[in-house]
Chain A
Amino acid sequence: MSRFSLVLLFAPLAACDYSGDWLFANPSEVPGVLDLGTIVPADVAAGQAADAVIYGEVGATGSAETGGVTFAFRGTGGPVCVWVDPELVSWSQSIAIVGGSPGFRYPDNNFDDGDLDLFAGYSVYYTGSPGESVGNFAIQYEDSLGNAVPVTLNECVLASYQTSTGGHFGRGAPEYCTLQATQPGVSYTVLMESFSTPLDDDRLGFGLLLANGTCRALKDSGAGAVPDECVILGEANDISTTVIGEDGSITVGDPIAGSEDFEKSFCGIGDKPLPDFCVEEASLKNCLVETCFCGDPSVSPTADQ
């Protein structure tokens, strides 16, 4: 067969490869779409948020299909806080010669972080199939010209720098919202959509809090205000300790050794500041070949570059 014939044969095939699946991670041992069932909002005493945290892990779907974690809860008649913290922490390295942010002068390991985006609303509006596929809270309204208008009924309102609604908090950062005045007995669904899974293993650990009351109250409970990142600690789990049940249930084991100290340093409540943590880690490990929480300081740009 001539080269010309080959081109004619394959050109239409290439043109129709719109799925983009090849751009995405292979499916991991842990499913990319999970459902946690129904969860009862916890009463969290001051400073006791850690006792109510539910830890989990979600993988990649292995395709262009969106992945994520869902669960349901019954409205209580009062406010309910949903708080999720994806593995692990992330920051942009400060490289300014003058000024800058000295606390972030070392690089992060960008390969061990993921991102979960939070959505919530009445279960009756949720279009996904829990545990099978991820949906949204959009309904279709038809205007008088017969055009369908998607109306999003997501009640998890997150502000961003640009807008008062529709924001998300980015890689490794906790995301939370308060569902005000929930209807007693009415089922709500929460979706934690996997925006990204860690590049190093495509398995994203997370910590989840579902608590009665507002997120502000949760944040301010205990001794002093806790930085958002440290309301939940230890969400980066050691995947070798994760147990996958025959029924598909996921039971996570221990946090990665040292990850909680790393989070505390990031929050400024640890034994040592974040730069010191990174320096010490780099002195104990070769971060070019071993997994470190911080990036390798030796690859930081300098004034000469």
Chain B
Amino acid sequence: MRFSLFGLAALALPLASVGCGGNHEGFTTTDLHGEVVLPAEAATRVFSDIPDPVVDAALIGPVYLGLYPSVKVGILPYTHPEIGPVFQAGIPGDAYPYGGTSLGDIRFPCIEFLKCKVVSGRYVDFDKMVTWFNDTLEIPIVDAHGDPVVDGDYIAQACYDQLRYVGEEEIRLTATKDKNDDGVLDAKDLDFVQQNDGTWKADFTIYQQEYFENVETGTGFTLWGWMDAPSELNNQFTTCDPNDGYQETEYNLDFYAGRAQRDLLNFPSTYIGAGDFVSSAGFVYGSPDDEATILLDQLVTQ
């Protein structure tokens, strides 16, 4: 029997793998899928000059999901992930998350006035953003010259100019994908969609997550999360760092565009405050194939 050099090399490769017990590293990584449910109150606000409570997805702030060893009641006035050792007085212990994601991203809306006040997946288009701030919140949007912004196209054009974008799908703040395939871009294409019972639901995926469990009990990690409600004063998010992120420096513009704080999942309590909603129980995984449903049902009051 004759072997070509190529054939020998091909044979050697699997043998090499056998030599060290194969390439399996022992990791269990998988995409975790599930849904987040917000109570109706999370997207409802009473305005003094509007007769009825306003219900709108624009009131839903960024939602942060983390995977933790467990959640505890009693550490704080609300349910919170277990925390590690406290090394320094006044600084909370690290919650040591295994991973996580967010629903709605803090992105630069191209006008300095709006930084840290806008999250993706909450506005159908920029016109809605303008009317929401100018008319509903009565926090008038102004541009770099202090002039009022009354047209959504002005914001989009600012994005095109400053970030060299050519379409709203690149800005990634408004609804640009027909997620429910009904042929129109509307509120049903946002991250959170209101259900018949008044609650708001969104699907999530945590990509390529390594799975952890207690090897003795088989109990997996716990999914926990919270929603950072916008400030009633100026619609800002406490989870946004206004002094960091993309820096715009051109002509008379010189400012940071803001970005999500760097340690949100490690130190949630640093950023959670009154008006936010947290999960009172979390979701305990039994296997990496579980489809999680997590309810952010606990209103933080202090």
Cα A65 to Cα B9 with chains together (Å) = 32
- 8 more CB-based (< 8 A) A-B contacts, given A13-B19, A16-B20: A4-B8, A7-B8, A8-B12, A15-B17, A16-B19, A145-B213, A145-B221, A153-B87
Name the B residues within 8 Å of A151 (CB-CB): 84-85, 94
B87 near A15: Cβ-Cβ < 8 Å: no
Name the A residues within 8 Å of B267 (CB-CB): none
- Bitwise, B65-105 to A at CB < 8 A (1) or not (0) is 00001100000000000101101000000101000000000
- Bitwise, B184-206 to A at CB < 8 A (1) or not (0) is 00000000000000000000000
Task: Name which residue of chain B comes closest to A139, CB basis.
Answer: B85
Shortest C-beta distance, B12 to chain A (Å), equals 4
Name the B residues within 8 Å of A245 (CB-CB): none
Shortest C-beta distance, A62 to chain B (Å), equals 24
B interface with A by C-beta (< 8 Å): 3, 5, 8-9, 11-13, 15-20, 69-70, 82, 84-85, 87, 94, 96, 212-216, 219-221, 262
B84 near A4: Cβ-Cβ < 8 Å: no
Cα A12 to Cα B15 with chains together (Å) = 6
B70 near A147: Cβ-Cβ < 8 Å: no
A144 near B16: Cβ-Cβ < 8 Å: no
In A1-26, the 8 Å CB interface with B consists of: 3-4, 7-8, 11-16, 18
Name the B residues within 8 Å of A18 (CB-CB): 20
Interface size on A, residues (CB 8 A): 21
Name the A residues within 8 Å of B221 (CB-CB): 145
Task: Name which residue of chain A comes closest to B85, CB basis.
Answer: A141
Cα A141 to Cα B94 with chains together (Å) = 11
A7 near B215: Cβ-Cβ < 8 Å: no
In A137-183, the 8 Å CB interface with B consists of: 141, 143-147, 149, 151, 153, 163
* A11-B96 contact, Cβ under 8 Å, with A141-B85, A143-B82, A145-B221: no
* A145-B70 contact, Cβ under 8 Å, with A3-B3, A4-B3, A7-B11: yes
